[in-house]
Amino acid sequence: MERNTITEMILQNGLVLYGQPKWTFGKNSCNTYELFVAYFRGLDGALLPSWPILQIIEGDEALTSLFSIALLREAVQRTADASRRVNSNLTLSLNLLPKFADSKYFVEQVEQCLAASGLEARRLQFELSELQELSPEGCEHLNALREKGVLLTMGNFGTNHTNLPLLRQVDFDMLELDASYAALIPGSDRACKAAIAIQHMADTLDMKLCAKGIENQDQFEFFEEIGAYKGQGNLIGAAMPLDELETYVKQYALEKGHK
């Protein structure tokens, strides 16, 4: 696909968002969800799968900036609007592209989106995969946002060579355990012990743990028992269009004013 076509799709509000809920263990509630682009709306109106287009965007600095700002603006505004409709303090989780975090305008652009929507900084959570490289400037930008209240999560934790250096550079609030661990639980004793060890590490670093890939009740109960803070997976709720997601959180979200 040509670069100009992708640019026009973004400028014409062609991002079709889906969301997936994140359950809070112990509170039996859902006030947090992850939003992502499931499709792009083509110039002819057709829905196009997002992944091939996102791969092109990630390889182009200008497209990354244009896309990331459009996604941030749309997702933040939709979350602020949904919070008012369901009378709850909803938290938005968004995957962050390193090239966007590296931009010298990143912090300012995030602040502008929050101010325009009315969403509190502590209701925005950026996820950065441990597999992605972040420049020293990007680390500084993320730490600056955290000081302003924005939450930070290291995603895909426990895959390949775990990025412990990034944990030293960025003050993350949460580790998001890769779904490959839940897939082996509770059948693999080794996987169970590894998950427990990561939970202990998170506790030591004053971080919370989110377990991804929860597909059955045994997995749900395991992560709740070891003290995980949040869980995500098809048992809790599959990825869904935003109108369905709002219906879901309206049923399970805590009322406005909760901590």
* Count of structural domains, the chain: 1
User: 161: domain range?
Assistant: 3-252
pLDDT of 233 over the 50 cut: yes
How much of the chain is in helix, strand and coil states, percent to nearest 5? 45, 20, 30
**Section 173-185 average pLDDT:** 95
Q: Indicate the SS3 state at residue 100.
A: helix
**CA 128, CA 101: separation in Å to the nearest integer?**
10
Using pLDDT thresholds of 50, 70 and 90, give the confidence band for residue 259.
very low
**Section 108-133 average pLDDT:** 93
> What's the confidence (pLDDT) of residue 134?
86
| 123 vs 129: which has the higher pLDDT | 123
159 belongs to a structural domain: yes
201 belongs to a structural domain: yes
128 belongs to a structural domain: yes
Contact between residue 38 and residue 20 where contact means Cβ atoms under 8 Å apart = no
pLDDT of 178 over the 90 cut: yes
258 belongs to a structural domain: no
Q: Check which CATH number belongs to the domain holding 23 and give it.
A: 3.20.20.450
257 belongs to a structural domain: no
By CB neighbour count within 10 A (0-12 exposed, 13-18 middle, 19+ buried), where does 49 fall?
A: exposed
Q: Which of 22-36, 140-154, 184-198, 242-256 shows the lowest mean pLDDT across its residues?
A: 242-256
259 belongs to a structural domain: no
95 belongs to a structural domain: yes
226 belongs to a structural domain: yes
Query: What are the φ/ψ torsions at residue 48 (nearest 5 degrees)?
Result: -115, 135
Burial of 181-213, coded b for 16+ CB within 10 Å and e otherwise, reads bbbbbeeeeebbebbeebbebbeeeebbbbbbb
